[in-house]
Structure 1
Amino acid sequence: MCGIAGQFVLRGGEADAGLVETMVEQLRHRGPDGRGIYLSGPIGLGHRRLAITDPSSEGRQPMADEEGSFWITFDGEIYNHPELREDLRALGHRFTTAADAEVVLHAYEEWGQDCLHRFNGVWAFAIWDGRRRELFCARDRLGVKPFYYTLTGGSFLFASEIKALLAHPVVGRRPNDRMLAAFLAWGVADHTGETMYDGVYQLPPAHRIVITEEGAGEPERYWDLVVNPDHGGGDDDTVARELKGLLADAVRLRLRGSAPVGTCLSGGIDSSTIATLVNDLLPQEGLRQKTFSVCFDDPRFDESGYIDTVVAATGAVSRRTTPDTEGLWEDIGRLLYVQDEPFASLSIYAQYCVMRLASSEVKAVLDGQGADEQLGGYIAYQMPYIRGLLRQGRVFVTLQEAAGGARYHRSFFLWAIRQSLVRSERRGFLLGDVPEVLRYAGSLDEVLAREITATNLPLLLHWGDRNSMAFSIEIRVPFLDHRLVEYIAALPLDQKIRGGV
């Protein structure tokens, strides 16, 4: 993972070398292994490098093709780049590095914008197409990697983090009142292309955008996710076998590379599954994986017992940290700076501490993010599931699910009702236009699609990217391999929730 930034001066003019340099410097934490800048007429591309795929100097960026017609600044990792490299070689392309950025560059040269459909990975990049005199920018399907931009002073500016855009003297000087109101009223962020800063936008997940000297086009979606609304029809044993196979292959791909890789282990089902699969896939006999966990002094929140079980079963080297209030007060200033935008939960600090712990031993970590939104793991998803069953006229199944939910989650639902009343009262104190964001409205398939692409997962990925990159660590999320995401989305809903579980 790296940091990218750049400027495209529209309708003539020269890129501002000083501005691009300052923007890149704001991203030093994302790439401590090197920096690079390319300037040519209206275009300025900048890069901070975290060397993982190709640690040699040949992998530095911005990177050009053999003729110098195309230049790329790239943040992310293409996990299937070895296979794509061979495909492109067979088509006559020549490579001078082992970097996946060079594969992206040649893939664009060969297939144009359709190259995005061939990538298995995470990315945010900008390619200067010198032949067409246009800038092509794209973000990965689920939005694991960030891409922010603004149009100001006759220039299109982009960067991995908002703080780099703020290097321009007029960018981000006013808050986006509408987004702030939505955050205060509903606790959501990253659910649209807007940010908390007026005039600063993010390229949404699974979108691309083309900028010419005449201006920026509209962001265009190149991949979409449809969640199956059906109930029933899946064979449990077959689904379990196929899902495990896809997840294992996703983990295998994310263990590629020469840099040491660790595993974030919370003690929950998702991270424990990944830790177990990593153990089965380690390339060298006798090599022990390293796990990084957060523990708490309060037994109500501590999951050390579950962590101990996984560590005992895998023989992993376990590293643990225990956040406390004193540490929070010491770190809160940098945590706010790192995130760029407000956050509504201090669970973010636990992740920050885990990344700091891991940074002394590895350059990449596997994380279990994304499973709950896909597999209906949050208890709040029970209500839209029951609502959808009623819509379909499945009265008996509805009663079964309602009974199961009441049996296992009665205390949660009582708490949720109280919280809903309190939050409704608090929203009454807000003035002005407060947009309505109803996370759990509709049936389960509608809610899960929205949670994956807008109302929940993008915010968690935002936190994860900033927390990991604050310590120059790459975060890898096997559950968001697009093959697995598409497979889970196609499953009937009772493969995700059944009997209140």
Structure 2
Amino acid sequence: MCGITGIFHHAEPDRPVDPGVLEAMTASLTHRGPDGEGTWRAPGIGLGHRRLSILDLSENGRQPMADATATLLVTYNGEIYNFRELRATLEGKGHRFRSTSDTEVLLLGYREWGTEVVQKISGIFAFALWDAAARRLFLARDPLGVKPLFYSDRAGTLRFGSEIKAILSDPEVERTPDLEALDAFLTFSYTPAPATGFAAVRQLLPGQCALFDRRGGRFWSYWGCPYRERPARGDFAAAVAEFTTRLDRVTAAQMVSDVPLGAFLSGGLDSAAVVRAAGRARQGPIHALTVGFDVPGWDERDVARRTATRLGAEWSAQAVALDATSLVPALSRHMEEPTADSSMLPVYLLCREARRRFTVALSGDGADEILAGYDTYRATRMAAWYRRLPATVRQRIVAPLARRLPLRDRKYGLHALANRFVYAAELGPGRDHCAWRIVFDDRLKDRLYTPAFRGHVAEPVAAYARHVAEVPPQREALAGLLHADTVFYLPNDMLVKVDRMSMANGLEVRVPFLDPEMVTFCAALPGEFKLGRGRIRKHILRESLRDSLPPDVLDRPKSGFNVPLQPWMRSTLRDLMLDTVRARRSELGELLRLDELEAVADEHRRRTADHAHALFAVLMLALWFENAAHAWKTRAGRRVALLDQSPHIG
């Protein structure tokens, strides 16, 4: 992976690009590309690149890269897994290559196919390609949104970058917060694309392209919903065999690398399947890494060891300390949008340890969203039955009983699960599923939001829920839920976390389950192949591994990469949250009732309620304001009046 950035004065083609600004934007991404730096400028356009060398480690692979005519230039982040096949095709059409990198395949692929090149390449990517003859800039992001691409188009100038901090390195960019984005962040603990926390900064959606020229920007999507009207029908055993073959094939394709490559291995099925496929492709042991934490009940090393032994992997494990108080502020500077997924901490530590051993890591991310790996899918089925109870029974008996359940500091405590269930079930079909992960529900917003903030924002759950309806109505209900999670939750939370935490360590992470071939194949499977008998999560994956893993590993409950947030928010992180909120009270006081926030924190401390995730979101919001003021090169002494924006209409 790499870091890309640039400036295009599309309304003033002769306006020079400030070299100091371009260099600052590029330097802000050094962590993403520690192996080299390059910038290029011409009238009206400037491109920057930070290189993490993976393929063709020579100087021939440097970027920004130009073709032989110097009329096409590209700055590119990612990997094209079918670049060798495309190279052969292009050579057959008369193109001549000067390197062995996948970057040049992208460049000459555009020469041959124009913007349709995105339909030809298979990989994870974000790039900006300058076509000097047409004086236009072409931007694109991979189909599932593994790699990010942010932009700001203001006053005839486009700025873009792999991270927001690159764009904010230009002092011309306004840093006014986007109030609706901040509300969505507090609702979900992540910021849904195309928004970011800043009104002036947006991001391309997964599978989206943009073309900028003198007339401005034009956007379109080249990847759509992979679910068709009818699922494929056939024998389950044959589907298991085909699933295994496809996963082996796409994993092998993703192992192309000129630097050391390994894999993450937890105690779960997803990483085990990738490690097995990688071992088969290598025809020998793959280096698999597990990290364990100094918190009882939150360590999967023993399970991972048994998995590695059965799979014949070259296994290593590392115990690490979870020092949340020092880690959270540091990691907040990488999680820019803002984001409050607390599992960023263990993911960061995993990536840090991985980088000491290899440069490229294979991960099992994405399997839960395409194969029904979350208990929320079962909960949604149950919610339909639950709503058949009379409303008085649900609201006057069940809901009060759920609130009285004892609080436990567990990964998936019954109190938290029951209360999320009864709240979300009342929202109705579609919205119930999208509400399982809500952090700030309406009751908490009514309590903590200032009236001015409450009046400025819309209700964000609908944006999530509308993706459920994008699946053809002939398909089973599960298909809509999986699609919504794949296009909303996955790229806005899970993939953001993995990208920022891996790139903070200069580590490239590849995700075989999110190869478009795998996603399309799994979308075609009947729902019962994924959620077997309405309750067996990732049924087809589980059966694929039946002969490879011990039964106690194969059938153990889902664990997840979580942290003990409940006790932390009663102790050290509570203090950090309150201190940071007080330091940024001028901004936060316009959004939240700070006296009531202290009361909520006190309820959590006294164990009369579980507000851990909401309080952590407030902490990350306070740190976001702190970073916007100091860490991301904002102008000293400048403060934005948040609520001078127009209210939401509609």
Relative to the length of structure 2, the TM-score reads: 0.70
> Cα gap change, 1:235/1:458 in structure 2, threshold over 3 Å: closer, same or farther?
farther
1:353 aligns with 2:323: no
Q: Single out whichever of 451-460 and 112-121 deviates more from structure 2.
A: 451-460
Residues 192-244 of structure 1: CA deviation (Å, up to 9, x unaligned)? 31111111000100000000023222x21011123357579342111111111
Q: Spell out the pairing of 1:9-24 with structure 2 (5 A cutoff).
A: 9-12=9-12, 13-24=15-26
Q: Return the alpha-carbon distance in structure 1 between the equivalents of residues 148 and 263 of structure 2.
A: 22
Q: Return the alpha-carbon distance in structure 2 between the equivalents of residues 9 and 388 of structure 1.
A: 53
Q: Spell out the pairing of 1:482-497 with structure 2 (5 A cutoff).
A: 482-497=516-531
Of the three residues 126, 137, 140, the one matched with 1:135 is: 137
Match of 1:477 in 2: 511
Of the three residues 283, 298, 303, the one matched with 2:300 is: 303
Match of 1:160 in 2: 162
Match of 2:220 in 1: 220
Q: Single out whichever of 293-302 and 195-204 deviates more from structure 2.
A: 293-302
The answer to whether the 8 Å contact 1:79/1:256 transfers is yes
Q: Return the alpha-carbon distance in structure 2 between the equivalents of residues 257 and 461 of structure 1.
A: 21
Of the three residues 443, 461, 472, the one matched with 1:437 is: 461
RMSD (Å), alpha carbons: 2.3
> Cα gap change, 1:54/1:389 in structure 2, threshold over 3 Å: closer, same or farther?
farther
Match of 1:428 in 2: 446
Match of 1:367 in 2: 363
Q: Return the alpha-carbon distance in structure 1 between the equivalents of residues 64 and 240 of structure 2.
A: 43
Q: Spell out the pairing of 1:62-461 with structure 2 (5 A cutoff).
A: 62-189=64-191, 191-217=192-218, 219-228=219-228, 233-282=233-282, 288-325=285-322, 327-385=323-381, 415-419=416-420, 421=423, 423-429=441-447, 430=449, 431-432=454-455, 433-437=457-461, 443-461=477-495
The answer to whether the 8 Å contact 2:232/2:524 transfers is no
Residues 248-305 of structure 1: CA deviation (Å, up to 9, x unaligned)? 011101111211101011110000111122122215x5xx422222223444332223
* 2:55 partner SS: coil
Residues 299-348 of structure 1: CA deviation (Å, up to 9, x unaligned)? 433222320111212343333344444x2222222211111133323211
The answer to whether the 8 Å contact 1:229/1:492 transfers is no
* 2:109 partner SS: helix
> Cα gap change, 1:322/1:229 in structure 2, threshold over 3 Å: closer, same or farther?
farther
Equivalent residue letter for 2:292: C
The answer to whether the 8 Å contact 1:234/1:492 transfers is no
Equivalent residue letter for 1:343: T
* 1:338 partner SS: coil
Q: Single out whichever of 65-74 and 343-352 deviates more from structure 2.
A: 343-352
- Structure number with bigger Rg: 2
> Cα gap change, 1:384/1:172 in structure 2, threshold over 3 Å: closer, same or farther?
farther
Q: Return the alpha-carbon distance in structure 1 between the equivalents of residues 228 and 415 of structure 2.
A: 30
Q: Return the alpha-carbon distance in structure 1 between the equivalents of residues 385 and 86 of structure 2.
A: 43
The answer to whether the 8 Å contact 1:260/1:362 transfers is yes
Equivalent residue letter for 1:241: A
Equivalent residue letter for 2:210: I
Equivalent residue letter for 1:332: V
The answer to whether the 8 Å contact 1:388/1:444 transfers is no
Equivalent residue letter for 1:209: A
Match of 1:408 in 2: none
Equivalent residue letter for 1:306: V
Q: Return the alpha-carbon distance in structure 2 between the equivalents of residues 239 and 492 of structure 1.
A: 10
* 1:271 partner SS: helix
The answer to whether the 8 Å contact 1:24/1:48 transfers is yes
Q: Return the alpha-carbon distance in structure 2 between the equivalents of residues 223 and 238 of structure 1.
A: 28
Offset at residue 472 of structure 1 (A):
0.7
> Cα gap change, 1:140/1:343 in structure 2, threshold over 3 Å: closer, same or farther?
same
Q: Return the alpha-carbon distance in structure 2 between the equivalents of residues 188 and 354 of structure 1.
A: 21
Pairs aligned (count):
476
> Cα gap change, 1:237/1:156 in structure 2, threshold over 3 Å: closer, same or farther?
same
Equivalent residue letter for 2:461: V
Relative to the length of structure 1, the TM-score reads: 0.90
Q: Return the alpha-carbon distance in structure 1 between the equivalents of residues 517 and 230 of structure 2.
A: 20
Identity of aligned residues (%): 34
The answer to whether the 8 Å contact 1:185/1:434 transfers is no
The answer to whether the 8 Å contact 1:3/1:28 transfers is yes
The answer to whether the 8 Å contact 2:193/2:492 transfers is no
Q: Single out whichever of 309-318 and 2-11 deviates more from structure 2.
A: 309-318
Consecutive unaligned residues of structure 2, counting only runs of 5 or more, are 387-411, 424-439, 469-476, 537-650
Q: Return the alpha-carbon distance in structure 1 between the equivalents of residues 489 and 341 of structure 2.
A: 15
Offset at residue 417 of structure 1 (A):
3.0
1:5 aligns with 2:5: yes
Q: Return the alpha-carbon distance in structure 1 between the equivalents of residues 306 and 296 of structure 2.
A: 17
Q: Return the alpha-carbon distance in structure 1 between the equivalents of residues 321 and 444 of structure 2.
A: 29
The answer to whether the 8 Å contact 2:196/2:338 transfers is no
Q: Return the alpha-carbon distance in structure 2 between the equivalents of residues 413 and 444 of structure 1.
A: 24
Equivalent residue letter for 1:368: G
The answer to whether the 8 Å contact 1:73/1:126 transfers is yes
The answer to whether the 8 Å contact 2:190/2:338 transfers is no
Match of 1:395 in 2: none
Match of 1:399 in 2: none
Offset at residue 436 of structure 1 (A):
2.9
Residues 391-429 of structure 1: CA deviation (Å, up to 9, x unaligned)? xxxxxxxxxxxxxxxxxxxx9787423135494421322
Offset at residue 387 of structure 1 (A):
7.3
The answer to whether the 8 Å contact 2:22/2:46 transfers is yes
